[in-house]
């Protein structure tokens, strides 16, 4: 395949002051060239390359050619499940009346259940079973908080689940022992009590990712069971998921490997609702390391991060240990992270999606610590960007613009000093899944032909909207629909 007349952006950009002043990504383009792909690799780059006999030619029309984007933290099955769910939070739903109307209009699954996603307290306060009954009581309803950590069920659902007899520690109970309808990090238990359902269709997720220019993902779902692993492997092998897929939730003692499928660090969740005891966490880190796996630790609070760093010091470090989210990182811990060489995989897209809520609800003294980017990089902490979809916005261009501009829905700015340069933001999505925060992949002869050709120059993609790939290649083969 010969891709004609593309722009190859360099890493050079204008200074931070330059792009802050006019809010544009001043990306220099040093090369306009043709690029040849043969098999799985880029084989040649140059001006006006001669076309080989029978070689497919693709017009680039001056669009930027980039390495395919990598989403370093998302949840594939949860993304697939959104197709049959009703939105329960901003911007689609903003008050209790709107939520009641959405639940009333929502189609039920074949067992009569209604599944809601994305709830935020700004809609109708702290929901429990009684509050959810007031919104919808005629059918069993389960609503997931937008953090992904909490499910709320109404009385009909609690009865169907036999919640009274449940033994999971995440089942919240009132002073009299009665379940409140709030289930914290109890996804496995909930699935075991729900009526059986077919695995969600991952083909639609693969197509959405391809349409956005994403050629590799890291699935950060913890504790994947055999059915989930089988569904993921089948989807990759059949091409329903044409991307490279790196898995954090593979159980210890298991190894999932294959073309475009790999096992990553072992996912640990330091839940803000109930932090693990220190000796237990040390034992879990040691067990992962003894099994030959680094750890990928979910940390969204400063307490969780302090606990993790102490546990790693006690258990010992292993290359590949990483922090997921880093939603709140105090300034005094930047040097601690840098000194240990621990990458942070964070999600600035939450600033674009929830930033106005943060400005309203978070203590002003804590705002500078939210979803740090530039200060991590300046301190020497390896930094990778990701979506956390479906809990954060999936679109990588939304993530990139959020990292560059830090703007909320209303245009306010959260953490202005944490803005990244356009090149630094893009690099956060270009490292290989196995090395988040590591060297960004580049367009060069011999490089893997995992590529995305945009329909415009890079500066427009980073500052505007509506950019779409003309062509996406994984291993030199087109994926997704071609215009």
**Which is more confident, 206 or 146?**
206
CA 331-336-341 angle, to 5 degrees, is 120
- Residue 263: pLDDT band (50, 70, 90) is very high
How large is the average pLDDT for residues 176-192? 92
> Is the model's pLDDT at 464 over the cut of 80?
no
pTM of the model: 0.89
Task: Name 150's Cβ contacts closer than 8 Å, sequence gap at least 6.
Answer: 144, 182, 183, 184, 185, 273
pLDDT at position 403, please? 96
pLDDT at position 30, please? 58
Burial class of residue 324 (count of CB atoms within 10 Å of its CB; 0-12, 13-18, 19+):
buried
Task: Name 277's Cβ contacts closer than 8 Å, sequence gap at least 6.
Answer: none
**CATH classification code of 69-77+199-439:** 3.20.20.140
How large is the average pLDDT for residues 92-100? 94
pLDDT at position 466, please? 64
Q: Which helix (H) or strand (E) holds 346?
A: strand 344-346
> Is the model's pLDDT at 22 over the cut of 90?
no
Omega prior to 91 cis, within 30 of 0: yes
Gap between the Cα atoms of 369 and 332, Å rounded = 10
> Is the model's pLDDT at 340 over the cut of 50?
yes
Task: Name 18's Cβ contacts closer than 8 Å, sequence gap at least 6.
Answer: 26
Which of 79-88, 293-302, 393-402, 470-479 is least confident? 79-88
The fraction of the chain above a pLDDT of 90, given in percent, is 81
What are the sequence ranges of the domains in the chain?
1-68+441-483, 69-77+199-439, 78-193
pLDDT at position 14, please? 32
Q: Which residues of 163-189 are buried (b: 16+ CB within 10 A; e: fewer)?
A: beebebebbbeeeeeebbbbbbbbbeb
Q: Would 1-68+441-483 and 69-77+199-439 be classified into the same CATH topology?
A: no
Gap between the Cα atoms of 119 and 30, Å rounded = 46
**CATH classification code of 1-68+441-483:** 2.30.40.10
Gap between the Cα atoms of 395 and 104, Å rounded = 29
Q: Which residues of 242-258 are buried (b: 16+ CB within 10 A; e: fewer)?
A: bbbbbbbbbeeeeebee
How large is the average pLDDT for residues 284-294? 98
How large is the average pLDDT for residues 400-416? 95
**CATH classification code of 78-193:** 3.10.310.70
Q: What is the mean pLDDT of the chain?
A: 91
pLDDT digits (tens, 9 = 90+) for 191-246: 889 888 777 789 999 999 999 999 999 999 999 999 999 999 999 999 999 999 99
CA nearest neighbour of 91 among 356, 414, 421, 440: 356
pLDDT at position 15, please? 31
For 4, other C-beta atoms within 10 Å of its C-beta total 15
DSSP single-letter state for residue 90: T
Q: Which helix (H) or strand (E) holds 102?
A: helix 96-105
pLDDT at position 83, please? 79
Residues listed for the chain:
483
Gap between the Cα atoms of 167 and 16, Å rounded = 53
């Amino acid at each position: 395949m010969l891709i004609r007349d593309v722009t190859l952006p360099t890493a050079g950009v204008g200074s931070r002051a330059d792009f802050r002043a006019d809010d544009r990504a001043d990306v220099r383009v040093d090369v306009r060239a043709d690029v040849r792909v043969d098999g799985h690799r880029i084989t040649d780059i140059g001006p006006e390359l001669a076309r080989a006999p029978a070689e497919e030619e693709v017009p680039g029309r001056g669009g930027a050619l980039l390495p395919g984007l990598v989403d370093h933290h998302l949840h594939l099955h949860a993304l697939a499940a959104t197709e049959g769910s009703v939105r329960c939070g901003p911007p689609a739903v903003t008050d209790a009346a709107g939520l009641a109307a959405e639940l009333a209009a929502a189609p039920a699954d074949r067992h009569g259940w209604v599944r809601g996603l994305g709830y935020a307290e700004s809609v109708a306060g702290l929901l429990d079973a009684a509050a959810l009954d007031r919104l919808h009581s005629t059918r069993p309803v389960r609503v997931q908080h937008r953090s992904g950590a909490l499910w709320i069920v109404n009385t009909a659902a609690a009865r169907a689940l036999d919640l009274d007899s449940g033994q999971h520690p995440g089942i919240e109970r009132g002073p009299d022992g009665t379940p409140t309808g709030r289930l914290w990090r109890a996804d496995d238990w909930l699935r075991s009590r729900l009526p059986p359902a077919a695995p969600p269709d991952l083909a639609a997720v693969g197509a959405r990712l391809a349409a956005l220019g994403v050629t590799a993902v890291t699935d950060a779902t913890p504790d994947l069971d055999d059915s989930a692993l089988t569904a993921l492997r089948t989807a990759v092998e059949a091409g329903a998921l044409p991307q490279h897929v790196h898995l954090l939730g593979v159980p210890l003692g298991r190894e999932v490997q294959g073309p475009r499928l790999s096992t990553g660090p072992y996912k640990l969740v330091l839940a803000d609702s109930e932090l693990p005891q220190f000796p237990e966490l040390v034992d879990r880190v040691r067990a992962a390391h003894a099994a030959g796996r680094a750890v990928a630790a979910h940390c969204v609070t400063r307490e969780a991060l302090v606990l993790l760093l102490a546990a790693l010091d006690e258990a010992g470090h292993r290359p590949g240990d990483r922090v997921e989210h880093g939603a709140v990182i105090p300034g005094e811990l930047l040097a601690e992270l840098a000194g240990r060489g621990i990458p942070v995989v964070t999600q600035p897209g939450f600033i674009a999606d929830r930033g106005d809520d943060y400005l309203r609800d978070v203590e002003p003294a804590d705002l500078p610590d939210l979803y740090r980017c530039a200060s991590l990089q300046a301190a020497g902490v390896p930094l990778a960007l990701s979506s956390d979809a479906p809990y954060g916005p999936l679109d990588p261009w939304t993530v990139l613009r959020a990292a560059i501009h830090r703007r909320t829905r209303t245009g306010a700015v959260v953490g202005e000093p944490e803005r990244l340069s356009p090149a630094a933001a893009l690099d956060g999505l270009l490292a290989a899944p196995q090395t988040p925060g590591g060297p960004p992949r580049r367009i060069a002869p011999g490089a893997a032909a995992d590529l995305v050709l945009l329909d415009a120059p890079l500066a427009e993609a980073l500052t505007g909207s509506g950019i779409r790939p003309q062509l996406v290649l994984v291993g030199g083969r087109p994926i997704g629909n071609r215009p």
